[in-house]
Amino acid sequence: MKLLISNDDGISALGVRSLANALAEVGHEVTVVCPDRERSATGHGLTLHQPIRANPVEVGFHPEVKAWSCSGTPSDCVKLALWALLDRPPDYVLSGINHGSNLGTDVLYSGTVSAAMEGVIEGIPGIAFSLASFAYNQFQVAATFAQTLMAYLEKDPLPELVMLNVNVPPVPQSEIAGVAFTRQGIRRYIDVFEKRVDPRGKVYYWLAGEVLEEVAEPMNPALPEPKLTDVQAIRANYITITPLQYNLTCQSGLNNLQAWKLNFP
């Protein structure tokens, strides 16, 4: 298959090189377009007021991989690849392997998820891969699972245009409990802005804080089994796969609004 890969950790990140090389080794046609530096938590940010530059990268990738370093955001990278760098559309837009999880509401901020979702916006299915730890740096299990997943999708493509958010536990392959198809959970953070003073005496703020445990939420009765969230399943050492979409319409809220007697003027 023809695959486009991006990320938000930057072109030099071990995760994207592990993913691209693993997929090239099993015969996929791989093109990599990644930011030239880390662009984590940029969401769907786009570069509008300055030029975007792209340069070929020849070191660190499998000989069959075509790689580019881009001055823009993850979403810029995907758009640039689809509209300027590739000769034809890819079968899938992949992102990652991110160094750190993208679980629950993290997906709203994640550059990794946004890069894969950018493919869906352009009519191409996307998959985001994340290794659920910032400290653990062994990407082989996640890369091997990516090979397995893409081989499955090559024979049995996704039946609808969707993005798959994949998180892999930071454990050896022998400790993986299996694969769980999950719903998106909710993670909230205690946000703390540390007030600091720079060498010139000017005040600035640094966002710090820590993640809370998953926040309980009512189960949506429209969702079928299984009802595990991605946050719950990753704790049990399951590889989680959560289908996501960019349409954020709340259907139940829309249904409730139909009963409003609101007129204007």
pLDDT of 186: 81
Residues 127 and 244: their CA atoms lie apart, in Å, by 10
Residue 187 pLDDT: 77
Q: What is the pLDDT of residue 101?
A: 93
CA 251 – CA 176 distance, rounded (Å): 36
The 3 state secondary structure assigned to the chain is CEEEEECCCCCCCHHHHHHHHHHHHCCCEEEEEEECCCCCCCCCCCCCCCCCCEEEECCCCCCCCEEEEECCCHHHHHHHHHHHHCCCCCCEEEEEEEECCCCHHHHHCCHHHHHHHHHHHCCCCEEEEEECCCCCCCCHHHHHHHHHHHHHHHHCCCCCCCEEEEEECCCCHHHCCEEEECECCCCCEEEEEEEEECCCCCEEEEEEEEECCCCCCCCCCCCCCCCCEHHHHHHCCEEEEEEECCCCCCHHHHHHHCCCCCCCC
Segments of the chain with pLDDT less than 50:
none
- Residue 246, Cα to own-chain centre: how many angstroms? 13
Structural domains in the chain, CATH included, are: 2-183+224-255 (3.40.1210.10)
pLDDT of residue 263: 86
Kindly report, residue by residue over 227-242, the tens digit of the pLDDT: 789 999 999 999 999 9
Q: What is the pLDDT of residue 192?
A: 73
Q: What is the pLDDT of residue 264?
A: 86
Report which residue type is found at 201.
G
